[in-house]
Structure formats: C-alpha cells, structure tokens
Chain A
C-alpha cells in the first residue's frame, strides 16, 4: 500500500546532509506504524513524502497506485482526498466553527452539499465532539482542537491517517485521549502513520515502530520480529 524504495531526500537549503538516506520500507493496509527518533532524524520528511508535499531526490515512493516519480499536482490533490493529515499545531481555521472546519475539507473537494452536514456530524461524533460542533477553535482545549483536526482528516474516509506529532502540544491526559482515538480509527481499518517523540506512548502501544537517526532507519520492529508483511495493494 505504501512503499519507500531506496529513498534519499535532500533539502536544497539544508545543512548539506540528507534528510533521508537510502530508506526502504513497506506499510500494509490497516497497519499502525510509529516513526520515532530525535529531532531532525527524518520523521516528518517521511510523512511529507507520503502526502507528496516533498518528492525524493533518489528512489521512489509509491502510495496506493500513485508514484512520486510520475504524480502531477492534480494527482497529489486526488491522493490527499484519500489521506487524512494531522499536525502538532492542528492547523484549523480560527474564524470557523468546529463543524465548519470539518465541512471545509468536504467543500473544497466539491462534495455534494446535501451530504455534508451528515458526514460532518458523523465525523465529530466519532471523535467525541458532537456537543461542541458550533464552538470556535479558541473556545476549545488543545486536545479538543486536535480532535477537530482528526475529524477533518476522517471525514473523507481515508485509507491512511498521517499524524505528525499529533500529541506534541498536548498534556498527558489529552495525549492519552488522542492516542486512544487513533487506535479506534486504526481498529476500524484505517492505517495510521504517526511520528512521535513520546517513547512512553510507543512502548505501551506495541505497534510497529520504525526508528530513524540521521535520515536512516536504525530499527524496524517488523523486521526484527520477522513479521511477515502482507501486501494488500
């Protein structure tokens, strides 16, 4: 479903060292994968390559039929409609309500107007925020804002949820809540790719973990435990 083949990524204005060097791995449908490692290890770069915000300098990234070597801007838009993306800083529209933020993701891809309210309500219910649908982001706690962001990511029924440090700005309690939500989403069949610093969270969860350092994979729990990858796509 997601395959990195000998991927190297260097940023033009970077310090010179590659952000990723010769990275290869595969993520199966419905899998939950943690990306860990110190700052600058390449976690965010991997996620950016997944949603094609960046393209590799060498190697290929393949995601559900799209290839980094051939995808055009229009293809990237199409791919993103099938992905859910969540960030540490939530990235919500401040002057729009929670439901407005979720509806926005449907409106901009031209979803039928009549279907939008129902789908928005379902997504907000799924993240446990149905009662705060009309609240503005500044009226919500950090954890709640991240739930709105997750609802926005889920509203298009993505096959994979990409989460870049989704608990980075949250306290312990909110972190547990968000992580529990991500587990539920994964249990419903959506793959989750999550970059995190929170080693405690990783240890407790027992999901596949890929550890990066200096742009290289230094540990992949799937390989070390001889888990057989199931290729779905």
Chain B
C-alpha cells in the first residue's frame, strides 16, 4: 500500500501539468453539476417558502362563542395533517385587515368581518387532495360557514413543483452523466500516459490488483481535489450572484457539501478503475 501511495504521488510529481488538467476538468464538470444543484436547491427553497403559506381559513357563523371556537380549534389540532390552528376573532380579523389592506384604514366596525379558524398544515400534507380533504372535514362542523384555501392556487403550485422536480431530476442526471464521461476521458488520458509503465509492470510480474492500486489512489485524490475545487467555485459563484444581483441565495449545507466531495471521489475512483481495467484487458 505504501508503494502504491508513493507511486500515485510520484505520478503527480512526474506529470504536474496533466494532473492539474485532470483536476481542473473534474472540478469544472462538477462545478457545472454544482451550479445546477444550487439552482435546484434555491428553487426548492423558494417553493417550500410558498408552500408554507398554504393555509385553510374556516369562517364561522356570526355569534359563535369564543370557547366553542377554542374547543373546535383543539379538535382540529388533533388532525394528523394539521400543524397549527389559530382562533381569529372578528376584532382580530379587522385589525389584520387594517394592517394589510389600505382601504380598511377608516373602518372601525368589526361586525361585518367574520371570525375564523386559521389552519396551517404540516409539510407533506399541503397537496391539493389533502388540503381539500381537511377542508371538507372542517366544513362539516356545524358553526362553520365556509372554508377557503385557494384551491386553484394550490393546484398551480403543485403543478409547478412537479415540473420542477421532474426537470430537475432529468437535468441533474444529464449533468452527472456528462461529468462522469468527461472525468472518465480525463482519467483515461492519465492511464494512457502511463501505459509504458503499466506494460513494464505486467512484464515483471505485477498482478492486476497491484497495477490498479496506485491509479485508484490517484483517481480518488483527483476526485477529492476536483470536488473541493468545484465546491469552492460554486460557493464563489453564489457569493458573486448574491452580491451583484442582490438575490438572497442558499448554499448547500454541510451534509450535501460532503456528499458532493464524496461524489467527486467516487467518480475519480470508479473512472480510474474502469479505465485501468479496460487498459489491462487490452495488454
């Protein structure tokens, strides 16, 4: 193993330019993939933020007692789909309207605004079907006049989310395949550059496993370095974007960043294994 590590290191020393080229190619392939990932992540975050605003408003009949509303709210809170229920009295509804809508500034009579129960749903239960089912259950309560939840809007949001999900998966796969092909070709170049050494190794009786080992180490190192560089470039690109376009963007959390590095390493490792394997079968 020590010899394999030494050989891998010697290869970096021997052909620094070729190795820098490999690492840069890996880095740029993964950078493209990373940028795409970042866009996907931010779209997902934005959709998530919109989704969180999905809520049902159950308007109650005028004159419903507050404790009746409170007990209904407690019942609704027990639904597995429900995150929170807020009891909004007529006075509170007016205060909110005055705050949010200019034309209510001069209105001081709260009588014509209905009281309501504002229901927020848990993540994963905000799809149109579930929302409608919850609305129907609440609508069944005797003092509930009407339940509104912007059915059209939720359906649109979910359509958008599905399109983004499918497009994201397809594009992500395409980017990953392109990265793998480019990186594979780069590593193949590195293997070909050392084909003489490989043929000498075979002549003097080295086993295939022995010949493969330094390439696997080399490939992994290139993958880690390329992955790290890609991560750095993606981060810098995000900072630039935030700075010049004044867009608040999110970056990968530590777990995803680590997964990215692991992905780079894996591509380096698998790319090397495949390239050396193919080369060894030929000689």
Contact = CB atoms under 8 A, between A and B. Distances in A.
Given A108-B210, A110-B210, A78 B199 contact: no
Interface residues on A, range: 20 to 34
Contact of B206 (A83, A92, A108, A152): A108
Nearest to A94: B196
A109 B199 contact: no
B206 A91 contact: no
Contacts of B200: 91-93, 104
Given A91-B200, A93-B197, A109 B206 contact: yes
B203 A91 contact: yes
B14 A78 contact: no
Given A73-B208, A91-B196, A108 B201 contact: yes
B205 interface: yes
A74 to B, nearest CB: 6
A81 interface: yes
Interface in B169-220: 196-197, 199-208, 210-211
Interface residues of B, number: 16
B210 A80 contact: no
B17 interface: no
Given A91-B199, A93-B197, A95-B14, A109 B208 contact: no
A35 interface: no
Interface string A39-79: 00000000000010000000000000000000001100111
A212 interface: no
A108 B205 contact: yes
Contacts of B208: 73-74, 77
Given A73-B208, A93-B197, A110-B210, A80 B203 contact: yes
Contacts of B199: 91
B117 to A, nearest CB: 75
Interface string A93-125: 101000000001101111000000000000000
B3 A77 contact: no
Given A91-B200, A95-B14, A107 B3 contact: yes
Contacts of A73: 207-208
Nearest to A86: B203
Contacts of A108: 3, 201, 204-206, 210-211
Given A80-B204, A108-B210, 18 more contacts: A73-B207, A77-B202, A77-B206, A80-B205, A81-B205, A82-B205, A83-B205, A92-B200, A93-B197, A104-B200, A104-B204, A105-B204, A105-B205, A108-B3, A108-B201, A108-B205, A109-B204, A156-B205
In order of increasing CB-CB distance, the 4 nearest A-B pairs are A81-B205, A80-B205, A108-B206, A105-B204
Interface of A: 51, 73-74, 77-83, 85, 91-93, 95, 104-105, 107-110, 152, 156
